[in-house]
Chain A
Amino acid sequence: MDLSLSPSEREFRDEVRTWLEENHPGPEPDGGLEEVMAFRTEWQRKLHEAGWAGISWPKEYGGRGATLIEQAIFVGEAARQEAPSPANVLGLAMGGPVVIAHGTDEQKQRYLEPILTAEEIWCQGFSEPESGSDLASLKTKAVKDGDEWVVTGQKVWTTFAQYAKWCMLVARTDPDAPKHKGLTYFLMDMEQPGVEAKPLVQITGEGEFNEVFIDEARIPDANVVGGVGNGWSVAITTLMNERAGLAFGAISQISNSLKRLGELAAETRVKGGTAAEDPVLRQRIAQLHIEAETMRLNAYRGLTKTMQSGIPGPEGSLGKWQWADLNQAIAELALDIEGAYAPLDRGAEHAVANGAWQYGFLRSRANSIEGGTTDILKNIIAERVLGLPRLR
């Protein structure tokens, strides 16, 4: 057991730290989404030029071929310094890895480079209004027509659909096959008449997500990834990739939030002193620090296990569950510390921290829904880690 970084890992960490300190452009602009996307595109170009954009991708495809621990260090350090997200986050974390794992040589040639440079933004077309946790029940259909597929249906929660060139689309190509078997994974061009993205306004008032309406959109046969009928297993790989990459960024983000929570407590007056001196609030602050530490250590234990076995295990679900709980609990405690001031939102004259915690409180409601709901994660843990029987 050795929980410290090896000399070479430390050297890598220092390299990452220095590069980020010298290059990251500071906080995102306080404007609309358009402005934010332009800022993130510029940032991704910089990352790519220095070889950080496709950090987990093999070198032959323009990536860095970094080890798992190096990826963890990079993601953790970037989050620690609050570097912005790259513009094409879904292309980098999911699209590229899927094309690398399941794509043809032509597809690799065509798609990978523009993902890295953020020339082409990717989005993910999995969920549908009637297929959320039960993803395999999705109904969007694709019908073969010569060497093309004609697609009709509706997708939802599609992040960045309004900026995306390519959609990782899972559609039903065989309505008669069992539900997991009749699916195919396509790369759909978003810039065509049959595709329309409409932003969905969420409880924070922002529009990160979209609904995507697809009406007889056309996809050439060459854009099938992993073969007709294999959509489910191809999609599962992307979900695994999504989860594995997030953990170490989430850890740094939680650690930054806890630091701010401590500052908030120290600055907030309560009867008889500050919130940081209040014995009840101190207990709650401490408990969140303890849980954050267990989440961090679990992630390192999981990383060691993944390095030994080569594949991330279902235990990763524990980390996502715990992150959601923790991120919500931190914002909840912050609002409790603010006390009577808790309703004052961004822009209000007497808002605490210009409403940052109000935003955090609202935005974090989605943490136990997005990327696998906590309820479904508990099912996965019960069935695949503990071996309990399925209800179905």
Chain B
Amino acid sequence: MYFDLTDEQQAIKATARDFLAARYTSARIRELAESEHGFEQSDWEEMAELGWPGLALPEAWGGQGLGIVDLAVLFEEMGYALAPSPLFSTTVAGLALAANGRDEQRERWLRPLAAGAARGTVAVFDAGTPASIGDFEMEAKADGDGVVLDGEKVLVMDAATADFFLVATADGRRHLVERDAEGLSVSAEKSIDPTRRLYSVRFDGVRVEREATLDGTQPDYLPVLWRACVAIAAESTGIAQRTMEMAVEYAKDRQQFDRPIGAYQAVSHRCAQMLLETENARSAVYGAAWAADAEPESLPLAASMAKAYASDAGWRVPDASIQVHGGIGFTWEHDLHFFLKRGKANAAGFGDSRWHRERVADLVLAGAEAPAPA
């Protein structure tokens, strides 16, 4: 039993912390928040040099072959830095291809993705539906030996700059569609979170050749979903950590009634609550990340627990930090609102806390054992 990062994981953390802090200053995040695509290609290329797009992808396809714990370490730092980047959406597409792609598909799309030469994203939810996991309505209409797609996918991350989409259909399959496919159009949606872009994607008779449809149906994508949940929950944990630190620092500095406000228990107990939620989120995230790598049978429960908890902590802690800051925390000029918005958007994606709690209820009321040590 050893529940801490290894030296190698500490090194990943330190590298990410330094790299991201140097690039994503407040001024830079604000500049990117107002840019067309929300990130810059030069940053992407540097991340690719560090091997980040392929961090948890198999070495056979050019990835680094590291685990989900390592991925969680990286995404905790992405959240801490509030890095605006398509790294998350590409990582999810990469994990899906690694899990269910055929070798020729992996050769064609996963290898460049792992190297940072191509980006992917998943397009699963249909416009006008409750956007609930697994309930997809777009039909894969047979057309010769391929299929034709019609409809509109919503809440697609980084669609304008992705090279390909993994499109879910009602039969639970995923189809790989390139952005320049005929009949496909992308339009930006305004999100409360300007640090991660959401789009809708229209499919007007988009034809998918047989070799672009992946193997597997919805149950085969659940292990991908659980890993994505761990990564985004790690990001929310980083958001909580950073905004808690901001609150504590401010509470030490800010004087009212001739004392630092952190001396008042109304404020200091709020900060203690932020620590509790942040540490709980972190434990849940790394517990689930470890399960993904070492005990996959416990992953569904552990991942839902982590995503449910971190979804809540990821916006409540920034919110509490705003309250500690008082009026200044509510201004556009202060950075806190960007963290709150990213945290709230993270909470909604990949199953919100209600959806994951329902999963947890299903599993625990059926008598599932929590992961080791038992």
Contacts and interface: CB of A to CB of B under 8 A. Distances in A.
Contact of B3 (A6, A276, A304, A390): A304
A293 interface: yes
A258 B363 CA distance: 13
Given A279-B358, A382-B269, A386-B272, A289 B284 contact: no
Given A286-B360, A321-B276, A1 B252 contact: no
Contact of B265 (A9, A73, A301, A378): A378
A375 B308 CA distance: 27
B3 A303 contact: yes
A287 to B, nearest CB: 6
Interface in A70-88: 73
Contact of A1 (B276, B281, B290, B373): B290
Contacts of A305: 4
B284 A293 contact: yes
A300 interface: yes
Interface string B256-295: 0001101111001101110110011101101100110011
Interface string B1-36: 111111001000000000000000000000000000
A389 interface: yes
B81 interface: no
Contacts of A73: 373
Contacts of A375: 265, 269
Contacts, number: 167
A301 B2 CA distance: 8
A391 B286 CA distance: 35
Interface in B54-84: 69
Interface stretch (B141-149, B201-209, B364-372): B364-372
B365 A262 contact: yes
A290 B275 contact: no
Given A283-B354, A293-B287, A382 B271 contact: yes
B365 A304 contact: no
A186 B155 CA distance: 68
Of B3, B264, B309, which is in contact with the most chain A CB atoms at under 10 Å from its CB?
B3
B168 interface: no
Nearest to B358: A282
B361 interface: yes
Given A3-B373, A283-B357, A388 B271 contact: yes
Nearest to B371: A3
B4 A289 contact: no
B132 to A, nearest CB: 14
Nearest to B251: A388
Contacts of B372: 3-5
B305 interface: yes
Interface of B: 1-6, 9, 69, 248, 251-252, 259-260, 262-265, 268-269, 271-273, 275-276, 279-281, 283-284, 286-287, 290-291, 294-295, 302, 305, 308-309, 354, 357-361, 364-365, 367, 370-373
Given A294-B279, A294-B280, A377-B272, 11 more contacts: A6-B1, A283-B357, A285-B361, A293-B287, A297-B3, A298-B279, A300-B1, A301-B283, A382-B272, A387-B252, A389-B259
26 contacts: A3-B294, A3-B373, A4-B373, A265-B365, A286-B308, A289-B364, A290-B309, A294-B279, A294-B283, A294-B305, A295-B280, A297-B284, A300-B1, A308-B4, A318-B279, A322-B276, A377-B272, A378-B269, A378-B273, A379-B268, A383-B268, A386-B268, A388-B248, A389-B260, A391-B263, A391-B264
